[in-house]
Amino acid sequence: MSVLDISLFAKGGPMMWVLLALGLLGLMLFIERTLYLHRGQIRSTAFIGGIKNILAKRRIVEALTVCEETPGPVAAVVKAALLHADDSADVMRFHVQEAAVVELPALERRLASIAAIAQVAPLVGLLGTVLGMTETFLAFEKGGNYATASALSSGMWHALLCVAGSLMIAIPAHLAHHFLSGRVRAIVRDIEWSGNEIMKYLLTEYRDMGPANGRAGEGGAEAGK
């Protein structure tokens, strides 16, 4: 009998349905998180370089538009810095950190559920094993010295298949959690680097260029009067 034979599932007992539900749930969560993090991760170096080129032309409104049209937390943090480009360093840093704090929970959402599936699946398998062994000993008790192999095999199947099924779910779930956590850490590093880089640019090079538009331009006009 092949290990992949579908009939083995039925021999695993009721706990196999619980394991199947955990496996499907974990798969859906992994796919959703992978797609979400893929959309949220951009080439931060190229993005910041493009924003700097736009700001070098004194087009801060265009830079804000680019941030709004770009998905992901990096663009949101850069947008927060641009909105407070004329404020002090402390005020700008506060709003950049606030934007990052808002974005972080969305990145980590549902990762704990995947970790929980990886931890619970072996326990469900252990429960199935205990129930299977209980069924085996019950068959021994009823059959006495004449207990047949077929009467005993049902409980053993339950025990072994539940262990195998739980491991087949727990191992990929652990790997999925590790993979997604790595993606989140990479995005967090991009957020930190992008926030620091755009703040440094706005507080030094951008302000050294002099007034351009908005409040700075209006102030220059009033001074001329």
- The 10s digit of each residue's pLDDT in 92-126 is 999 999 999 988 888 889 999 999 999 999 999 99
pLDDT above 80: residue 222: no
Which pTM does this prediction carry?
A: 0.76
Residue 76 in any domain: the answer is yes
Residue 56 in any domain: the answer is yes
Counted domains in the chain:
1
Residue 77 in any domain: the answer is yes
Contact 201, 55 (CB under 8 A): yes
Residue 221 in any domain: the answer is no
Query: What does the pLDDT average to over 66-91?
Result: 89
pLDDT digits 0-9 by tens, 136-176: 777 767 666 665 666 667 777 778 888 888 999 999 999 99
Residue 43 in any domain: the answer is yes
Q: Which domain holds residue 98?
A: 8-216
Give me the chain's average pLDDT, please.
Answer: 82
Residue 222 in any domain: the answer is no
Residue 138 in any domain: the answer is yes
Residue 124 in any domain: the answer is yes
pLDDT above 50: residue 36: yes
